[in-house]
Each structure stands twice: as structure tokens, then as C-alpha cells.
Structure 1
């Protein structure tokens, strides 16, 4: 079974290389052409050296004097061969290098493009660190054998030519070559088969280590707040130790086979000298022939190793290809429709959720670590299929956000508020039911119309490592500095932005590290407003903002020149009171709708929840006043972030 698996890896690795050749035939031809020239000139150099020894050196020793003309001719011949060999080396390395880096760049773009095409449901099932590994180290591993590939192909041609030259020189010495060269190739094959499982395991562990590291770094705030540095270090160290052991196993095997691969050509050279000396005594060959063959075996030792380099890297290449191809063939697209909203339409939009049901996949069977069964047919698992019955998150949810009105979503943690926000922005599609804007199903809108109509501000703000201007404008057409400042004013962010050293040109650092939590939220709100959306979805987007600032933001939105409807996930009583209508959710169902006062009067569950929120907020205010708030400045204060599904 192990031998068959290794053989499969070898065949599939050759198939992957064939795929690269089909995509870059011109560069491969240049590389192989240079390698063939180098190989043939290597054989020629052996016979030139033999001729110089036989026709110049030996006669000069026998006569006691050297012919200047013959020495000059020999030197010129060696120089000419060397110059052409240098040209071959240049062509080989140029073709191989360009081919490898072009393939890597091409597949990195393909993987990244596919990430952007795949829906959020797919991304939620795959660790970010693994996805980074797919786009970087897995792509690199897939095409790593391309670098020595032209050299290896040229070496095969060189070996065939060398065997032919040996038979022309002497059939006995040719038999020695026939014994050494196949033995060298067989040793490379055995090496590749033993290396295959070790390389696959090491490549998988690279991705796992990357995933754990990214998760720890991404959750640094939680790790430090909860004092989990030690546990995270232990978790990372355990997987890093596994990777270390796997790489040591790879190195140990390489350390065992490398001396054998080095020794075999040397043994061949020794055998040629012994047999050649006997044949020379018999008069079957000349001194020039013996020197040529011995020198040929010596210079072939290094090129032949190129075959071993390719075979040794094939398992790693196959592992990388499986992981990359898994992404490229992943299913779960969210195709956009053809319905376009005219750019001239700028009035507020209405949103209707009609009998919405939704279930999150419990974790599909796909994994970037899985391998495909055949080289030409990758495993195409249904990425959106759940491995078992998925719990239903929303149950026949129906409500309306009228044009120009503000609707607040209120409910306990896990009631489905964030899921509704994602549905409203079409980050996910409902399992059943429809989400329409101005009577048009979101699935029928074009991507441009959807982005121009609806903006979502998530509960966890994301800020790019760029300037304030770039974070707000996002390089969108028509977003000028004036509109950026207007959006910042609506988000109550113009004051602190103006106080920054370089204003709009201030670099905010990775994920906005130089800004407080409330400042990041206001910056991302300004980003959404800069596009003048007709429907604004706020998923608890001001939780880290001071309540007074939050109230000012919502009041400004209601009276701004931007015609927008607002769907806001809220928990503060002051925020809820500003809404025209409140939708109260519990366990994925709409329990009641109405104004804030109506729900307080007739819905005990709503009253209890809002009162609990209000008491918690009041306690935080008292803590801040007493100087014991553990979360820092008031602008950073927030309740624990809810990840509501």
C-alpha cells in the first residue's frame, strides 16, 4: 500500500509539472534548450579534454617539449566549449526561474480571486491562517520543482547522449555506464518514494502552524485580557514541535540519501578507471578515450543530481497542489443577478424580509488538507453541504424597514440579529424566504447596484493599514475629500481626525491600532456613509462609542441630506428610543414589533432585556466616574462583543 501510494504521488507529481509546462511552454522550451546545450557541451568537454591529453599532453611528455600551436588550439577549444556552456546555463536558469515565478504569481492571483468570489459561508468554515497558507506556501511548494525541472530534462538527454558516446568509444565501458546510470536513477526513485509521506505531512503541518499563529495574533486582545498567553504559547508550541519533528524526519532521510547519491558517480568513475586501465593494456582504447570517459563520469555527477532534486520535491509539490486546487475548485458561489438600479435613484430604499429561514452549515466535509484521488480529477466536495442536520437560526422571520425610516433590532445574544444584518447586506442568502429592496430580490441585483444601495457597518470594525482618506474613500468613484469630510462629520469623527498630525493623510496602522475602539467604529461608519447608501445596516456598530456621541450620530443620520433607511442592531435604551419601530427577536423568531413604548408596555421579555441593558450601562458609567473602569477611556468602553448568529 505504501509503495502504491508513493507511486501515485510520483505520477501525480509528474502530472502537476506537466500542467505547469502546458501553461508556460515558451519558458520551459527556453529552459530545456539551455539545459540540453549545457548537457551536450558537458559531454563534448569530456572528449575535448581527452583529445588534449592524448594529442597534446602525452606527446609533449614523451618528446620533452610542448608545441605552442597545439597548446593554443587546446586552450581555444576549451574556452569555446566553456563560453557556449555558460550560454546554456544562462538560458536554463532564465527559463526555469521565469517559469517558476510566473506560475507562482499566476496561482496566487487565482487563489486570491477565488477567495473573493466564494461566499462568506465558505470562509466561515476555513481558518484564515490556512487560507493564507494556501495562497503563499502551498502555491510556492506546488511549483518549487519547476526550478530544477529543465535541468533534469536536459540531464536525461545528456545521459542518453553519454551512453551513445560510450558505446562509440568502447562497449565494455558503455556497460559500466549502463550499470551506474540506472542504479543512480533507481536510487533517486527510492528516495522520492520514501520522502513522499514525510513531505506531505510537513506541508500540512505548515498550514496548521500558520492557522494557529494567525488565530492567536488576531485574537491578541482576547488572549491578553483573559490571561491566556501561556495556554496559547503551549498550543502553538505543541504544533510547532510536530512541524519540527516532521522537518527533522525530512532532513534525516535527505542526510541518508545525499551521501549515496554523491558516492555512486564516484564509484562509477573508479570502476571506469579500473576497467579502462585493463582495456588500455589490451590496446582496445587509447589514453585519450580513457581520460574522456573518466572525465565524463566526473562531470556527470552533479547534473544527474538534478533528477533527484525534482523527484525529492514531487511529494511536497503534490501536497501543495491538492491544497491549492481544493480552493480553486471549491463550490458555493453567490451569483449576482442582472437587475441594475439606475445611479440617478438616490431616495431611501425599503427593505422587506418575508418568511426568512436560515441555517448555518455545521462544517462541510471539505478541507484544504484533503488530497485529490487522481491527478486530473480533483476532489470536488460540496463546500456548502453540511456534514449533518444544521440547526435553524431564523424561523419565518418577517418585517419591513419602510423607506426613510429607522428600525431597531433588539434581542438577547444568539437571537439572530447579526444574521439578519448579514442577510440584509447579502453576505449570505436565506435558506428559505426572500429579502427584497424596493420590491426586488437581492439575488436579482447586480454587484454594483447592491454595493451602491446597501452598506453594512459590522459590530467589529476593520480598518486597513492605510491613511484615513483611503479607509473612508476606498478608491470609489466620486468620493472626494469634501464627501469624506461630510461623512466624517455625520459619524462624529471629524473632530478627532482634524486633530491627527496629518489629518486625512494620517496612517492609522494595521487594523487601526493607533485609534481607540470608538474611533475605529466611527471611521468605519464614515466609510459606509461616504458611499451615500440608500439603506444603512448598523450591526451594533456604535457599541464602543460614548452614549452621548452615539445619540448625536443617530440624530444626525435622521436629519442628514443623505436619503437613507436605517436598520440598526441596538441594545442601548437611548438608541432604541430613536427608532421609528422596534423588532424584538428571541430564539430566531420575531416576538413582537412596535414602538419602543408599545413594546415596553405589552412585552415583558422586551422590557426585561432593555432594563437589563440599561442597568449594565449605568453600572459602567458609575465605574468610569469612580475611575475603576477596566476597559480604558469612555470612548473605548463597550459591553462584551456579541457574535450573534
Structure 2
């Protein structure tokens, strides 16, 4: 309860004006609801009973009753409209604010933080959790506003007839106890249901994201069963919540009705002794029916608090996460190819060290190939070169400046990274290459030609306007890689880093791409495996077990570094051994 009220307090402090208007409108509704009881009692005493007793009623009294009833109803309608509109504004503004804050935090947090959190969970934080955190805000202004109705109705009952008021008030301890039991039974069930919603979202996203693996390995049945199992748990949790509500809601509705019957029974006795008149009895009975509504409204808020606390806690876990990158104020004003220096860089994932004291440099306009066996730290190193993560020790220098000293956006403006696994949006070719960058079609075509993509794009049905489908589904792997390369080149980077970014391209096209890049105004770092690609580099840095084992030209490393020689000639040696086996088999035959 304390945590839930604290969450509501955050919303009230954030949107003071909207909340105040919503509460005032709700107060108007509550006040006019009580006033309608007084108007009904006045009309009964001054219009209805004289009509039965004398067979007629005065025109003035009749019009007064009509105006009282119509006026209170009209003001009540304004209160209902204002309460609902501004309560909705309050709720949706807070949800939108939370989603924006969570998304901004995702962008601020380093890649190392994202490595530790599944994508499905992050989606749940920004959607279902943000929604649940502010779910109580819809009924909150009504609950606060109808407190006016609660006290006004109670005072009106006491002033009208203290005896009947006392009889009616006896029912409220029963309602309070029932509400307490209701909340204690409901809270853990609602908490569990909210947690399961997030888990179902995580499993669904993971299955969708891995659809290719699921399909190719025939795992549809297992994935369906995994999702079904958790979905059934969510279903059962929601049913458990529904059962509790289904049990207690009728009881909470029945108790006020029972109170009305008791009031009418006692009121009938007092009416027979002329202790009260008929109008007063009607007024007290109607006021008592109104007292049940504020309690129900407060119950609606309390029923949403468990989900709200769970959603808020999960959202705050993201907003309170540490590790966001800080930036300096230095700008990179040069337009010439960048000079890159890696000085004593080390990095680890938890306890597993993947890079240790790595150092090398890339002179302006030169091409350096990073070569090494699987697990040697190449992909981690390229992430450090564009500051997706920061090194644990050492520094990466761009034109002699530590990347951590550069202003926000300066690294992205100077360096571009193209990964082996490319991502294309369900947009046109132009949209995927430009990504909202203000460039002309001529510049887009120039980047496409440099990436050896101009030919196949020109053959597409609508050229640059051709939509490529979700994740580039209508294109081959090599075509997707070339579009990703063009996306980097159109930004005219001073440093271009290719992490095996041409692995799906045939060797002849790859050679043309790399020759073209040598003529571009950029220094190039390429993670390479093919000997033909490596041979085009001005220098090779050979990584082994997270360290620089050797560096030099391709020919130098072939001569002096056995590990390098074994790695880059592995394919040729395998082909030679296979050919020798086949020749021996032919001779034997």
C-alpha cells in the first residue's frame, strides 16, 4: 500500500494541474450526486405527496422541482465528463512519459548493459510495465473526488436523522473488513499475473526473433509448447484474479443494499411514530445508497495498486540502471581520413577477459586487417573502436583524442561500423540507405555504386523506391550487406570499420568493393578471413587469445608467424589434402 501510494504521488506531483482539474470535476460530480438526493427529497415532500394528498400540486413547486433535478443532473454530467477526460489525460501522459524515459535510458546505457538483458524483457518494460504502473490513475481522480460525496452524504444523513444515520453507518465496518480481506487476497495474485505478462512477452519476442532457427531446425512444436506452457500459467493467474473479484464484488455490492433495507425498515417504524416525514426517509435512504459508491471507487484504485507497484518497480530498475556513457566536449573538425590508435586496451565480459593490452594504430588513409581465430576478440575490439562499449583499461584514440573526450555524436559522425549481421527496415532502398539523413539521390547512388550495389538496385522494379520487406526479406544476404555498406558510405565517414561485412558477397565483388574503398577518403579497418581480402590491406594485425600476437604485412606474417600462416592457409591446405586423397583413390581404383 505504501509503495502504491508513493507511485500515485509521483503522478500527482508531475501533473499537478491536470490532476487538480480531474479532482475538481469529480468533486462536482460527487457534490451534485448528493444534491440530487436533496432535490429528490424536496420534490417528494413538496410535489409528490401534495399531489397524492390533495389531487393537485402548485405550478411553482413543480417547476422548482424540475429545475432542481435538471440542474443537478446537468452539473453532474459536466463533472462526469471532466473527470473522465482529465483522468485519461493524466494516465496517458504518465504512460507516455515513462515510455519515453525508458527508451531514452535504453539509448544512454552502454551495449554491455544490453548484453545482460533479453530484448523481450526490455520491450515489456517499455510497454506492459509502463502501462501497469499508471493503471490506477484512471479511477484515482474519481476516488479522490467522491470522498467529497462520502463526507457530504454522511453529514446530510446525520443532519436529516441521526438515528437512521447511526443505523446506516453500522454497515461500514463490515464493508471495510471485507475490502481489507479482498485486497490481501488479490494483491499477490495480481502481482504474479503482471510478472507472467512480462515473461510471456519475453518468450514471444525470442521466438519471433529466432524464427529462422525455429523453422530450419523444425522446432515449431517445442517453441509452441514453451510459449503455451507460460501462456497457460498467465491464463490461470488471470482466472485466479477473476475468481477473487467474482467472489468479492457481489458481496461488496450486496452489503450497501442490505444497509438500505435496514434503513428502510427502521425508517418505516420512525415514520409510523411521526419522528420523520416521508421526504426525509427517502432522502436518507437515497444518501445511503450513494455512500456505497465512494467505497467501491476507492476499491478500484486499491485493486490496481499491486499491478502498479510491480510495473513501477520494473520500470525503475531500468531508469536506475548505472553505466550510461558520459561524453566530453571535444569536436572532431577535420574532414581528412582519421588516424586511429588503440593503446593498451583490455576488456572483459564479467570474469571472462576477452582482450588484454591490445595496441596498434591505423595511419590516415590506410587499410588495416584484423585477423584471428574464433574467440580472439575481434568483434569486441571493433565495438570498442566506435565506442559501443568503453575499455576497462587503456584508450582508443581518434586523431589523438580519447573517444571518451569527444562530444556526443562526434564518434558516430566520424566513424561507421558495418556488421556481418545486417539489419534492414521495412522501408524503401532510399530510406534504408539514408535513414533520414538529408542527402540527394545522386549521393545515394554514389554510395550504392561504391558498395557495388548500384547494379542490382537499378534492376529493382521501383529503383530507390523499392521496399525491401521486413529485415530485407526480398533481398539476398549479399545484397543486404551491400546496402548496409552503402548506408555507412553515404555518411562519408573518416573511419570505416567492416566486421566481416562482405562475407556473403562473392570474392570478385568483394575485391571491387575493397579497391573502391582504397580510393575513398577514409581509413579502413576490416575484420577478414579470406586471403584475397587480407592481401589488399596495408597492414595486418593478428589477434590470438585476446592479444596482438603479431602485426605487419600479409607477406611478412606468412613468413614469420606460424599461427597466422596456419589460419589463413587452412582452406588451401584442406583443398590440397582433399585433392591428394581423391588422386590416391583414383590410382588405387
TM bin (shorter chain): over 0.9
**Residue of structure 1 aligned with 2:542, choices 581, 584, 594:** 584
Distance in 2 (CA, whole Å) between partners of 1:310 and 1:424 is 51
Q: CA deviation at 1:282?
A: 2.3
Post-superposition, which runs of at least 4 consecutive aligned residues in structure 1 deviate over 4 A?
66-69, 613-619
Deviates more, 1:406-415 or 1:298-307: 298-307
Structure 2: runs of 5+ lacking an equivalent: 578-589
Query: Structure 1 pair 417/336, CA: closer, same or farther in 2 (3 Å)?
Result: same
2:230 is the counterpart of 1:245: no
Distance in 1 (CA, whole Å) between partners of 2:532 and 2:259 is 88
Deviations 1:311-370 (A, max 9, x none): 00001111111111111111101111111111xx22211211122111013xxxxxxxxx
- State the match for 1:311 in structure 2: 302
1:224-239 matched pairs, under 5 angstroms: 224-239=215-230
Query: Structure 1 pair 113/616, CA: closer, same or farther in 2 (3 Å)?
Result: farther
Distance in 1 (CA, whole Å) between partners of 2:576 and 2:326 is 46
Deviates more, 1:171-180 or 1:281-290: 171-180
- State the match for 1:6 in structure 2: none
Query: Structure 1 pair 614/176, CA: closer, same or farther in 2 (3 Å)?
Result: farther
Q: CA deviation at 1:59?
A: 2.0
Q: Secondary structure of the equivalent of 1:447?
A: coil
When normalised by structure 2's length, the TM-score is 0.94
Q: Secondary structure of the equivalent of 1:429?
A: coil
- State the match for 2:114 in structure 1: 123
2:557 is the counterpart of 1:599: yes
Structure 1: runs of 5+ lacking an equivalent: 1-9, 362-389, 620-645
Query: Structure 1 pair 221/485, CA: closer, same or farther in 2 (3 Å)?
Result: same
Structure 1 contact 571–613 (Cα < 8 Å) conserved: no
Structure 2 contact 153–288 (Cα < 8 Å) conserved: no
**Residue of structure 2 aligned with 1:529, choices 484, 489, 505:** 489
Structure 1 contact 53–288 (Cα < 8 Å) conserved: yes
Deviates more, 1:18-27 or 1:65-74: 65-74
Q: CA deviation at 1:152?
A: 0.4
Structure 1 contact 473–480 (Cα < 8 Å) conserved: no
Distance in 2 (CA, whole Å) between partners of 1:617 and 1:182 is 88
Deviates more, 1:609-618 or 1:496-505: 609-618
Q: CA deviation at 1:208?
A: 1.3
Distance in 1 (CA, whole Å) between partners of 2:203 and 2:528 is 33
Distance in 2 (CA, whole Å) between partners of 1:612 and 1:225 is 29
Deviations 1:470-509 (A, max 9, x none): 22122235x3222111111111111122222222222222
Structure 1 contact 29–95 (Cα < 8 Å) conserved: no
Distance in 1 (CA, whole Å) between partners of 2:486 and 2:186 is 54
- State the match for 1:451 in structure 2: 412
Q: Secondary structure of the equivalent of 1:592?
A: strand
Distance in 1 (CA, whole Å) between partners of 2:499 and 2:186 is 51
**How many pairs were matched up?**
577
**Residue of structure 1 aligned with 2:479, choices 519, 523, 530:** 519
2:114 is the counterpart of 1:110: no
2:481 is the counterpart of 1:492: no
Distance in 2 (CA, whole Å) between partners of 1:177 and 1:126 is 55
Query: Structure 1 pair 268/492, CA: closer, same or farther in 2 (3 Å)?
Result: same
Q: CA deviation at 1:70?
A: 3.2
- State the match for 1:415 in structure 2: 376
Structure 2 contact 153–290 (Cα < 8 Å) conserved: no
**Residue of structure 2 aligned with 1:353, choices 342, 347, 372:** 342
**Residue of structure 2 aligned with 1:474, choices 413, 435, 443:** 435
Q: Secondary structure of the equivalent of 1:464?
A: coil
- State the match for 1:294 in structure 2: 285
2:421 is the counterpart of 1:463: no
Q: Secondary structure of the equivalent of 1:356?
A: strand
Q: Of Structure 1 and Structure 2, which has the larger fraction of its residues in helix? A: 2
Q: CA deviation at 1:303?
A: 4.4
Q: CA deviation at 1:522?
A: 0.8
When normalised by structure 1's length, the TM-score is 0.86
